[in-house]
Amino acid sequence: MNEWQKKDLGYIWHPCSQMKDYEDLPPIVIDHGKGMYLYDVDGNRYADVVSSWWCNLLGHCNPRINNAVKKQIDSLEHVIFANFTHKPIINLCEKLSKVLPEGLCKFNFTDNGSSAIEAAMKVSFQYHYQSGNPQKKRFMALSDAYHGETIGALSVGGVDLYSEIYKPILLDIVRIDGPDCFRCPYGKCRDNCACECFEHAEKMFAKYGDETAAILVEPLLQGSAGMKVYPPLYLKKLRALCDKYNVHLIADEIATGYGRTGKMFAFDHAGVSPDIMCLSKGLTGGYMPMAVFIATQKIYDAFYADYDEGKAFMHSHTYSGNPLAASAACEVLNILEDEQIIPKAAEKAPYFTNMIKEKFLPLKNVGEVRSIGLINAIELVKDKTTKEPFESGLRVGYQIYKKALKKGVLLRPLGNVIYFNPPLIIEKPDMDFVVETAFECAREVLGSL
**Predicted pLDDT of residue 405:** 97
Query: Domain spanning 67-338: which CATH class is it, in words?
Result: alpha beta
Rounded Cα distance between 306 and 43, Å, is: 61
> Helices 323-338 & 87-97, crossing angle to 10 degrees?
40
Q: How many other C-beta atoms can be found within 10 angstroms of the C-beta atom of residue 324?
A: 22
Q: Could you tell me which residues come within 8 angstroms of residue 7 by beta carbon, excluding any fewer than 6 positions away?
A: none
Per-residue pLDDT of the chain in tens (449 residues, 90 and over written 9): 999 999 999 999 999 999 999 999 999 999 999 999 999 999 999 999 999 999 999 999 999 999 999 999 999 999 999 999 999 999 999 999 999 999 999 999 999 999 999 999 999 999 999 999 999 999 999 999 999 999 999 999 999 999 999 999 999 999 999 999 999 999 999 999 999 999 999 999 999 999 999 999 999 999 999 999 999 999 999 999 999 999 999 999 999 999 999 999 999 999 999 999 999 999 999 999 999 999 999 999 999 999 999 999 999 999 999 999 999 999 999 999 999 999 999 999 999 999 999 999 999 999 999 999 999 999 999 999 999 999 999 999 999 999 999 999 999 999 999 999 999 999 999 999 999 999 999 999 999 98
Rounded Cα distance between 258 and 57, Å, is: 8
- For 3-61+340-447, CATH number out of 3.40.50.920, 3.40.50.300, 3.90.1150.10, 3.30.70.3280 equals 3.90.1150.10
Angle at CA of residue 205, ends 165 and 101, nearest 5°: 90
> Taking the alpha carbons of 12, 14, 20, 26 in that order, is the dihedral positive or negative?
negative
Using CB atoms within 10 A of its CB, is residue 319 exposed (0-12), middle (13-18) or buried (19+)? middle
* Three-state secondary structure call for residue 30: strand
Enumerate the domain spans of the chain.
3-61+340-447, 67-338
**Predicted pLDDT of residue 327:** 98
**Predicted pLDDT of residue 386:** 96
**Predicted pLDDT of residue 449:** 85
**Predicted pLDDT of residue 363:** 97
pTM beyond 0.85: the answer is yes
Contact 71, 327 (CB under 8 A): yes
Which residue, among 115, 157, 159, has the nearest Cα to 321 in the 3D structure?
A: 115
Going by the DSSP 8-state scheme, the letter that residue 292 receives in this structure is: E
**Predicted pLDDT of residue 133:** 98
Rounded Cα distance between 54 and 224, Å, is: 11
Q: Could you tell me which residues come within 8 angstroms of residue 161 by beta carbon, excluding any fewer than 6 positions away?
A: 415
In whole angstroms, how far apart are CA 89 and each of 86, 96, 264?
6, 10, 20
**Predicted pLDDT of residue 51:** 98
3-61+340-447 and 67-338 share one CATH topology? no
In whole angstroms, how far apart are CA 42 and each of 3, 35, 38?
11, 19, 12
> Helices 63-73 & 323-338, crossing angle to 10 degrees?
150
- DSSP states of 179-213 as a string? --STT-TT---TTT---GGGHHHHHHHHHHGGGEE
Which residue, among 305, 303, 300, 275, has the nearest Cα to 214 in the 3D structure?
A: 275
Rounded Cα distance between 58 and 45, Å, is: 18
Residue 361: φ, ψ to 5°: -60, -35
